[in-house]
Amino acid sequence: MMVSDMEKLAIKGGKPVRTKPFPSWPVFGEKELRLLREVVESGVWGVGGKMKEKFERKFAELQDAKYALAVANGTLAIEVALRAAGIGKGDEVILPSYTFVGTASPVVYVNAKPVFVDIDPETYCIDPEAVEKAVTERTKAIIPVHVAGQPADMDRLTEIAETYNLTLIEDAAQAHCSEWDGRRVGAIGDMGIFSFQSSKNLNCGEGGAIVTNDDELYRLCWSIHNCGRELGGEWYRHVRLGGNCRMTEFQAAILLAQLDRLEEQSRRREENALYLTERLSAVSGVEPLKRLPKVTRHSYHLYIFRYLESEFEGLSRDRFIEALRAEGIPCSPGYTPLHRMDFLNGRVSGRLENTERACYREAVWLKQNVLLGTREDMDSIVEAIEKIRENVSQLL
Ligand SMILES: Cc1ncc(COP(=O)(O)O)c(C=O)c1O
């Protein structure tokens, strides 16, 4: 084909597939303003306010949990959960290397050792067989991450945790409303954590929560998040070491308002994601992540597909991403592997080949707000990928 017969790629100065932006994030309205005003005017901006407690009740119900505890952010939520489980010096905690650094840094903060294991090559979630291989007599906990919002294999992980008597802490930072076999994630394990940081599907700028069905773990988390006080105890009676990890009333007010939109937005993301998967499955060279059959609901905080450079005549993933962005599709390569971050001082179990391939050569991420678009918006993503594929020689 002559260059003149080909469609010029946008990165080479051609016309982009789209110039219209995807839906912006966050979405907000009058209710956020009304509830914030209510907090300001009440004069109770922190301890003693009604918003945090109300949000905790609603969020626990949303995630099929007995308790939810609202904290300042997701990273602290993991730290509180680890401390409540009694994890500390000399203990090992197994987690994937393919996750945000905030999954691992709390393990280091409590003086335990992160043990990084590989992910499944098709789902990018922690590989349960790699978890089992990494267990030693020092192992105390597993932190599976529900990457992009897809629940990890909770059946196998629960079985492993029970066999070796390990605490199971779900990192559900990205998995609001996600379900494993009909049950919302978070309190399937001993404890689960969520993030409400600004990019998240449920967002208040910064925020986090711990959910659990366990009375004792809840009591401990509450105490640790509130300066070591006892639940229902006196204000200046501190019975253990704790921090101030409390969420403010302002954060909770925003979350209460945002909760109203969550169901509709979640449905839209999932509908669009399923449509995108159907269409991308017909395009060679890109493969949507596999969805496990027991994932009955997926938050699609991210839509991740695998880019196979061999099908694009060897064009690197990073160059592909540049070309896709130029066509008007916002996308990114995502994580770099945590096991390569020396300051985490982790132990690596196995070769983590799938993690390295995902991070350096394969993963392409679309953010959740892209999935709030229309069918035509989804079609434009497919069109842009096909355009690059058909005209890849312009980039070689
Ligand atoms: C998988 C995962 N774990 C932990 C965190 C930490 O949450 P936060 O940013 O609220 O501290 C995040 C969010 O950024 C995350 O995506």
Q: Which two tokens stand for residue 310?
A: 């061999």
Give the global pTM. Answer: 0.97
d(CA 165, CA 173): 24
d(CA 3, CA 319): 20
pLDDT of residue 6: 72
Q: Using alpha carbons only, how large is the chain's radius of gyration in Å? A: 22
Separation of CA 293 from chain center: 20
pLDDT of residue 5: 53
Q: Which two tokens stand for residue 338?
A: 């945590």
Pocket test residue of 150, 169, 195 for ligand 1, highest count of atoms within 8 A of CB = 195
What are the angstrom distances between the C-alpha of 105 and each of 91, 230, 384? 14, 27, 37
User: Containing H/E element for 42?
Assistant: helix 30-42
Write the residue with the smallest CA distance to atom 12 of ligand 1: 173
Is the distance from the beta carbon of residue 174 to the nearest atom of ligand 1 less than 6 Å? yes
Number of neighbours of residue 228 by Cβ within 10 angstroms: 15
Is the distance from the beta carbon of residue 208 to the nearest atom of ligand 1 less than 6 Å? yes
d(CA 268, CA 244): 37
Residue 111's region, left for phi above 0, alpha for psi from -120 to 50, else beta, is left
CB contact at 8 A, 339 and 391 = no
Is the distance from the beta carbon of residue 300 to the nearest atom of ligand 1 less than 6 Å? no
Distance 173 CA to ligand 1 centre (A): 5
Is the distance from the beta carbon of residue 145 to the nearest atom of ligand 1 less than 6 Å? yes
Distance 5 CA to ligand 1 centre (A): 47
Can you give the three-state secondary structure of 159-224, one letter per residue?
HHHHHHCCEEEEECCCCCCCEECCEECCCCCCEEEEECCCCCCCCCCCCEEEEECCHHHHHHHHHH
Q: Report the amino acid identity of residue 356.
A: E
Pocket test residue of 100, 109, 170, 202 for ligand 1, highest count of atoms within 8 A of CB = 100
d(CA 341, CA 116): 11
3-state class of 278 per DSSP? Answer: helix
Is the distance from the beta carbon of residue 328 to the nearest atom of ligand 1 less than 6 Å? no
Is the distance from the beta carbon of residue 73 to the nearest atom of ligand 1 less than 6 Å? yes
Number of neighbours of residue 109 by Cβ within 10 angstroms: 14
Q: For strand 295-297 and strand 179-180, is the pairing parallel, antiparallel, or unpaired?
A: antiparallel
d(CA 187, CA 183): 9
pLDDT of residue 1: 47
Is the distance from the beta carbon of residue 106 to the nearest atom of ligand 1 less than 6 Å? no
pLDDT of residue 3: 47
Q: Which two tokens stand for residue 261?
A: 């939109």
Q: Is the dihedral of CA 34, 40, 44, 46 positive or negative?
A: positive
User: Sheet holding 363-367: strands in order across?
Assistant: 286-288, 302-307, 363-367
d(CA 209, CA 133): 30
List of the chain residues with pLDDT < 50 = 1, 3-4
Q: Which two tokens stand for residue 69?
A: 């505890």
**Residue tagged 């990114």 (tokens):** 332
Is the distance from the beta carbon of residue 299 to the nearest atom of ligand 1 less than 6 Å? no
Identify the DSSP state of 87: -
Q: In ligand 1, which atom is closest to the CA atom of 76?
A: 11
Is the distance from the beta carbon of residue 266 to the nearest atom of ligand 1 less than 6 Å? no
Q: In ligand 1, which atom is closest to the CA atom of 207?
A: 10
Distance 279 CA to ligand 1 centre (A): 30
Say how many CA atoms lie within 13 Å of 201 toward its Cβ. Answer: 31
Helices (H) and strands (E) in the chain, counts: 11, 14
What are the angstrom distances between the C-alpha of 356 and each of 41, 96, 286, 336, 360? 51, 12, 18, 8, 6
What domains lie within the chain, and their CATH numbers? Answer: 30-257 (3.40.640.10), 263-395 (3.90.1150.10)
Q: Which of 372, 338, 363 is nearest to 113 (CA)?
A: 338
d(CA 246, CA 229): 12
d(CA 365, CA 325): 11
The H-assigned helical ranges of 247-310 are 249-280
pLDDT digits (tens, 9 = 90+) for 222-269: 999 999 999 999 999 999 999 999 999 999 999 999 999 999 999 999
d(CA 211, CA 227): 19
Q: Which of 276, 270, 273, 268 is nearest to 382 (CA)?
A: 276
**Residue tagged 């069109």 (tokens):** 383
Is the distance from the beta carbon of residue 150 to the nearest atom of ligand 1 less than 6 Å? no
